Structure 1
């Protein structure tokens, strides 16, 4: 009889793991690819005002991308891993998720259970930093005086085998982060804080920005605002650059006749510092969207997942769009051959298709092109960095990255023109 009971428990657990589900719509979740699996963790719902109760999720999903599929079928093909082991996941959103060589990902910070409002009392996360190694979760200890930040950015710096966190808003003190990096040594799980620096050209610490680690050992910070509830959005022309080797800051100005308006909750990838406009073919597309996830697969495919569209109250369903980067067109079909890419000899030692190759020379400056807007007033116009510019990188994979698009698809009602500058009211959680 005892044996039968044990077998029953095991069967129930396995059945739970193989049930296909469609995740609820959400914003500010974290999605990334490990091996041939797409993982998405947590996220939250949109709130119309501080007096509207927003819901945070503590769920965790995976989608097998090792085979070809049709987009409509993928929506119901997710597997819910929320209860796959004994690790208790917490609700969280607007956190950083960092992919480490395609082998693991680390989450840090976030809103967690929610910021104080008429419905929510401030409740900090129990596990501020977590790691997923492909099969199980674990907690990364957090040393004092480190704290819980949301709206921050995080990047894995291969030369230091460390994750560099920067910017954001301190959950406990209700203040903006300082100029220092919060650094996690990936091998030892030991935290440290870099020396504080005065940022160049009167630049400010950013919140809900993006940060992209390029092959020249620089981190490029784009967009964002100067803090939670603040009204100043940072120009997309002003790219803040941190050299991880020399430990120095710089500011670079982008070029091009079409510059996206200021924004938050967008995504970025690696490319040249010139904006040009690109109209993406195919339908349906991601449309007006912010607070989404953008996941690059190989050098030919970009997934756009979740986020908030033109009508926030209609975001109860999950969103999954596929962009063919070779054709620059939306498509309903995913080709798993995108996973076959690996950097050629002389690039990164890692052969993971999601890690950018190292740049052989730093003579040609590299910068990031913003992908997908947060809030804006340019309708269904897309922006893209000039694909004809030559980069000092090897490997055909980065043809796609050189022309990663900026889907400047944003909510026109969220913008108003003030002295020629575009501003918006920050999304409220």
Structure 2
């Protein structure tokens, strides 16, 4: 029994250690991926300023709680996932449960081809896999922006092929549930390109904005392109208003009311030309395709080859080229909850933004943070950490309790069990206290003349965060006959 106790405690320690490990990215990075799955913002790969890959290469930020961009707490997954260093890959969430991270394409840091076209990361078990996908894959593998629809279909348009040295405008679908490829229509599609913006719209169209082709240059934004995922058709749409200059390596998200596209950053209108900060943020109204510059405070340095995701009321912008860690932060937060004025923030205030509601359902591929009530932290060993290892912690707590009781016996102190006669047993039942979110543990007791029970309140996970040092004072045991009478009643 002692060996089993030690083994379980060791396993729990390893899990807690992995969850507690915090890292600080040591290098600037760009051309990485950023994917939000179950309150975790996963960052994979990317290029750095030097010869070697930025460190770490695979990590995440827990966004289930409020945080400050001055004190980001990254969690490193590099050591448990053997993923090759790469840049210019595409990533999105998908799979049957929409909790699998799909990583497509990219290129090695020295511009070499990668051995695998598709990787999957099981976010529930922290396992990296190289699945077999049936069918003929795309030629374009580099600098694609992936988009997923309501049915787990990942759309991959265009890209560059190092092997063929060509830019493409093919549209391929990766079925993230059945793991198969499908080539769909490219009739009237945009010209071949990379580094464009792409967003899945509520009407099941995908909008494509800007981009770059070495043979053509940077593409203008006086027109955008729409792919109808239902009819498998392409259309071109003219835009109006304050049209942005031509640009590429931009990021784009859907607004909170689902009626606008927000784009940020990039290079243009020529290759590697920096964009003035005051011209780096634009909004496209998709009801009339009118561009305008939103009211916003002082703009930070413009970033290119960055990534943006939507989390609660924030457009979260990660890493990229164009800033230094000495003068700016690895993450920018743009509060877009007020259409009249966007605000740059340094603090991600989850509680403040909890009441935000959407006017229509959001597709699985968009990065909207679930309500914090959907996944509560359940780890109780000195600290409370958001995770899903409740069973392991319960077992560990039980064995720790047994060990503590055994120690008391050795010290000559009477324990509760010593007061139990040979013909008595411990009978425990529990229920939920809806008023204060406590768990109520009912233990039969001879001291309680009214209902033969003494109620022991065990703090919930939330309370343990602030009261984790409180101890349970005592457990009173009653004989089996009284317990059976109580159950009968």
Q: Distance in 1 between matches of 2:196 and 2:105?
A: 15
1:21-46 alpha-carbon deviations (Å, 9 max, x no partner): 11132001111222222221111114
Distance 1:114 1:286, change over 3 A: farther
Q: Which runs of 5 or more structure 2 residues have no equivalent in the other structure?
A: 255-259, 261-284, 371-489
Return the offset for 1:223: 0.5
Root-mean-square deviation (Å): 3.3
8 Å contact from structure 1 (residues 42, 59) kept in 2: yes
Distance 1:64 1:109, change over 3 A: same
Q: Give the total of aligned pairs.
A: 327
Q: Distance in 1 between matches of 2:175 and 2:142?
A: 20
Distance 1:18 1:186, change over 3 A: same
State the partner residue of 1:354.
368
State the partner residue of 1:63.
61
Return the offset for 1:198: 4.3
- Please, which of 89, 105, 118 is the counterpart of residue 128 of structure 1? 118
Distance 1:36 1:161, change over 3 A: closer
Q: Distance in 2 between matches of 1:259 and 1:286?
A: 21
Q: Distance in 2 between matches of 1:73 and 1:302?
A: 18
Rg larger in structure? 2
State the partner residue of 1:331.
345
Q: Scaled by the length of structure 2, what TM-score is found?
A: 0.59
Task: Give secondary structure in 1 for the equivalent of 2:108.
Answer: coil
- Please, which of 71, 82, 90 is the counterpart of residue 84 of structure 2? 90
Distance 1:105 1:315, change over 3 A: farther
State the partner residue of 1:20.
22
Q: Scaled by the length of structure 1, what TM-score is found?
A: 0.67
State the partner residue of 1:308.
321
State the partner residue of 1:212.
199
Distance 1:16 1:197, change over 3 A: same
User: More helix by proportion, 1 or 2?
Assistant: 2
State the partner residue of 1:244.
229
8 Å contact from structure 1 (residues 308, 315) kept in 2: no
Return the offset for 1:275: 1.3
Comparing 149-158 with 128-137, which one deviates more in the overlay? Answer: 128-137
Distance 1:335 1:277, change over 3 A: same
Comparing 16-25 with 126-135, which one deviates more in the overlay? Answer: 126-135
8 Å contact from structure 2 (residues 107, 113) kept in 1: no
1:262 aligned onto 2:246: yes
Task: Report 1 or 2 for greater relative contact order, CA contacts < 8 Å, sequence distance ≥ 6.
Answer: 1
Q: Distance in 1 between matches of 2:59 and 2:304?
A: 21
1:138-196 alpha-carbon deviations (Å, 9 max, x no partner): 223244642560111211121x431111111013222112x332211122111121244
1:319 aligned onto 2:313: no
Q: Distance in 2 between matches of 1:349 and 1:264?
A: 25
- Please, which of 156, 164, 169 is the counterpart of residue 155 of structure 2? 164
Task: Give secondary structure in 2 for the equivalent of 1:43.
Answer: coil
Q: Distance in 2 between matches of 1:331 and 1:2?
A: 51
Q: Distance in 2 between matches of 1:264 and 1:351?
A: 22
Q: Which runs of 5 or more structure 1 residues have no equivalent in the other structure?
A: 48-52, 116-121, 357-429
Return the offset for 1:108: 0.6
- Please, which of 270, 290, 302 is the counterpart of residue 304 of structure 2? 290
Distance 1:153 1:304, change over 3 A: closer
Comparing 212-221 with 147-156, which one deviates more in the overlay? Answer: 147-156
Return the offset for 1:207: 1.0
Q: Distance in 2 between matches of 1:240 and 1:305?
A: 26
Distance 1:56 1:68, change over 3 A: closer
State the partner residue of 2:39.
36
1:72-116 alpha-carbon deviations (Å, 9 max, x no partner): 122xx11111223xx42121221111233863331111123431x
8 Å contact from structure 2 (residues 188, 235) kept in 1: no
Distance 1:195 1:301, change over 3 A: closer
Q: Distance in 2 between matches of 1:352 and 1:217?
A: 13
8 Å contact from structure 1 (residues 162, 186) kept in 2: yes
8 Å contact from structure 2 (residues 28, 54) kept in 1: no
